[in-house]
Structure 1
Amino acid sequence: MSETTALCFDMYGTLCDTSSVTRRLGEVLDLSGVLTDAVDATWRRKQLQYSYQAAQMDAYEPFWEVTGRALDYALAEYDIDPTPEERERVVEAYDHLSPYPAAAATLEELGDAGYTVTVLSNGNPAMLERLAENAGLTPHLDDIISADEVGTFKPDPAVYENAARRLGEDIGACRLVSANAWDAAGAGNAGMGVAWVNRRRDPPEAIGPVPETVVDSLARLPDGLGRA
């Protein structure tokens, strides 16, 4: 594999914490802590499931729409019926996810080390741009690359291949950085290098290549890549 020159960071679950929507859920819908956690878990699970379904069914729609549909399912599962205004306020929590500790500092350090630093995400462009700005990540990014450009979602190889084309690099010179094991497997399958941020010390996926680099936090990534 070529020497890595470009790092492609997953946004949701890697740079920003999707579980940080729980505060907005609880406040807007006046839910108990236990119910808030349950709705949040279902929301994230269905968000991923619907992205897989949309890709397999050739029924693409932007990730913002997928995220809203997943929320609707989660609310229906727990018999929660918000007003349209309340629903919109909850969905908008995805514009204000909390960055993980050291996210901005890690991006800055790796940029200073000579890498091209980008986001590669299922999120549609406007969605990603809003979140990157609100999370304080925009100044540390060279580009934001969206799966929307190819009309499908990760882990379809087309998403990773498009990122390499956008960056003007061989795919083997690009490395995905993701905390999602399925995403890491998808990038490796497409021929992209992988750095897996394995915060929960999970086993790697049984389908797909094993990631070359594994760290337990973003802060450890520069040392793990060997170009700090």
Structure 2
Amino acid sequence: MSFDPDRVETITFDSYSTIVDVDAAESALADRVDDPEPVSKLWRARSLEYTFVANEIDAYQPFYEMNRDALQHALDAHGVDLSTAERDEILAVYHELDVFDDVREGIERLRAGGYDCYVVSNGNPDMLASMVEHADIADLLADTISADEVETFKPRAELYRHAAARTGTPIDEIAHVTAAWFDVMGAQHAGMQGVWADRKASPWEPFDGEPDLTVESLFELADALGV
């Protein structure tokens, strides 16, 4: 597929791994786990896997609860025994993850170019409120849209269609920006243009087409839109 800037009226952003860096959660494990990297990676992987399974078996619960269950599994799998209070302290890092350097200035350029900007995320409303505050982008966003509103997770088309309705934009006039390959595919399947924020020079998934646009930063998206 190829990106069509003339069709873009609204821009939606994923949150985790797109605006804030989930890899920074590893630092919250460092004081309590001898080898935090594999625990952190399993934690993130399981939290996403739980959302995929929940979609198929109608087992929705807010993403913060999914994340808590995933963290407990990762700790158990690596033989780490922590108290509930310690686990919750680790989990709370999701309220203050590191913000990517290009986020505020990149969204400022897009807003100055006339694009309404939204966050569309699996995160529940409290998570998104703290993320937006920590990232200092509340003044740049028209709104945040949570999977909690429809009780289904990405990459279900229902969530993207709900987001389009909430923005008041025809779905084919939205560009969705995300670091998650499955989120790109979900947005495209629902009718949006999919913009892959590939900050880590990762290989693309080969089995079902390609993103409409791949960028290393939000500045490149602004360039592609001519703003």
Does the 8 A contact of 1:176 with 1:193 survive in 2? yes
Give the whole-Å Cα distance in 2 for the aligned partners of 1:24 and 1:136. 22
Q: Could you state the TM-score of these two structures normalised by the residue count of structure 2? A: 0.94
Give the whole-Å Cα distance in 2 for the aligned partners of 1:135 and 1:83. 30
Which AA in structure 2 matches 1:9? F
The aligned residue for residue 92 of structure 1 is 92
CA shift, 1:78, in A, is 0.7
CA shift, 1:207, in A, is 4.2
CA shift, 1:206, in A, is 3.4
* Structure 2: runs of 5 or more not aligned: none
CA shift, 1:209, in A, is 4.2
The aligned residue for residue 17 of structure 2 is 13
Does the 8 A contact of 1:194 with 1:212 survive in 2? yes
1:31-85 CA deviation, whole Å, 9 max, x = no partner? Answer: 33xx111111010000110010111111100000000000000000111111111
CA shift, 1:198, in A, is 1.5
Does the 8 A contact of 1:189 with 1:208 survive in 2? no
Does the 8 A contact of 1:188 with 1:208 survive in 2? no
Query: Which one of the candidate residues 4, 18, 31 is aligned to 2:8?
Result: 4
Count of residue pairs brought into register by the alignment: 223
Does the 8 A contact of 1:95 with 1:130 survive in 2? yes
The aligned residue for residue 173 of structure 2 is 173
Does the 8 A contact of 1:186 with 1:208 survive in 2? no
SS in structure 2 of the partner of residue 11 of structure 1: coil
1:198 matched to 2:202:
no
SS in structure 2 of the partner of residue 99 of structure 1: coil
Give the whole-Å Cα distance in 2 for the aligned partners of 1:173 and 1:207. 25
1:137 matched to 2:126:
no
Does the 8 A contact of 2:181 with 2:196 survive in 1? yes
The aligned residue for residue 113 of structure 2 is 113
- Higher deviation after alignment, 210-219 or 8-17: 210-219
Give the whole-Å Cα distance in 1 for the aligned partners of 2:149 and 2:215. 29
The aligned residue for residue 218 of structure 1 is 218
Does the 8 A contact of 1:157 with 1:187 survive in 2? yes
Which AA in structure 1 matches 2:173? A
The aligned residue for residue 103 of structure 1 is 103
- Higher deviation after alignment, 85-94 or 214-223: 214-223
The aligned residue for residue 226 of structure 2 is 227
Give the whole-Å Cα distance in 2 for the aligned partners of 1:129 and 1:120. 12
